[in-house]
Amino acid sequence: MSQRQSLVAANWKMNGSLESIRQLLAAIAQGVNKETQSEVLICPPYVYIPELAGLLDNTEIRLGAQNVSQHNSGAYTGEVAASMLKDFACDYVIVGHSERRTLYGEGDVRVAEKFVTVQAHGMTPILCIGELLEEREANNTEEVIARQLDAVIEMAGIKAFNNAVIAYEPVWAIGTGKTATPEQAQEVHEFIRLRLARHDHETAETVRILYGGSVKADNAKQLFELADIDGGLIGGASLVAEDFLTICHSVR
């Protein structure tokens, strides 16, 4: 049996206000304690990171960002560098979220560059991968997942996955209320581990793979029970403290 520590991560996306995130965080922090089995992470919009860094100081909850520039510094208007996130105690950074890939044209190579940059600054990347509906319907899911993974393995090396998290987020399940069935999710998670195992068996066995895509309070448990699912990356349901806490406490 593997010893992987489960992780439940909130991706708040572009939601909230200073007032609402203070309230949400207070409610979440109250429910996360030493008894909480899972590691809990919150990824707020960039501008709220300093505020959350202060609020999370004496809690068990970790802080992360939703994106990062692949560059270290310079004339990149509107971008945020990894060193800046590190300055505010971020432990994790999401890279390659499907909304970045599809709405902002981030390709596999740029995502791999971001992955490398995050690690170079002592933080842990959460690499998001996942297929579009038409790719699944054309039976191309494994091909897409392999391509997205291989781009990072090629640039960062397989050992880099010893300090990384992977999030499988089927694009058709994000924000749609249409969760992957436990069978569909487990099948892809297993495929991801096998793909990594071609290079390094131990890395494949120890890397945490989260599921994301319409995880809710009432379906988290059946997903988190599966052998190769080590937690979740939660969008909509992470904006409701009670729901998010139920999900955090649904891990095996």
What residue type is assigned to position 1 of the chain? M
Q: Cβ 105 to ligand 13P, closest distance in Å?
A: 18
User: Quick check: 214 and 175 in contact, CB under 8 A?
Assistant: yes
Phi-psi category of 95—alpha, beta or left, where left has phi over 0 and alpha has psi -120 to 50?
beta
Could you give the CA distance from residue 182 to residue 180 in angstroms, rounded to a whole number? Answer: 6
- In the complex, least distance from residue 199 CB atom to ligand 13P, rounded to whole angstroms: 26
- Compare residues 231 and 235 and give the one whose CB is closer to ligand 13P: 235
Q: Which is nearer to ligand 13P, 44 or 213 (CB)?
A: 213
Q: Which residue's CB is nearer to ligand 13P, number 152 or number 234? A: 234
Least distance to ligand 13P, CB of residue 128, Å: 7
Minimum CB separation from ligand 13P for residue 174, in Å? 4
Give buried/exposed letters for 229-245 (b at 16+ CB in 10 A, else e).
bbbbbbbbbbbbbebbb
Alpha helix stretches (DSSP H) within 93-219:
98-103, 108-120, 133-137, 141-156, 182-197, 201-206
State the catalytic residue, choosing from 99, 106, 135, 169: 169
Coil, strand or helix: which one is 125?
Answer: strand
Question: How far is Cα 204 from Cα 160, in angstroms, rounded to an integer?
Answer: 11
Active site residue 97: yes
Active-site residue identified among 97, 121, 189, 249: 97
The residues of the shown chain that bind ligand 13P, judged by CB under 6 A, are 11, 97, 169, 174-175, 212-215, 233-237
Residue 22 main-chain phi, psi, to 5 deg: -65, -45
Q: What are phi and psi of 15, to 5 degrees?
A: -130, 155
121 is catalytic: no
- Compute the least distance from the CB of residue 51 to ligand 13P, in Å: 21
Residues annotated catalytic, as ranges? 97, 169
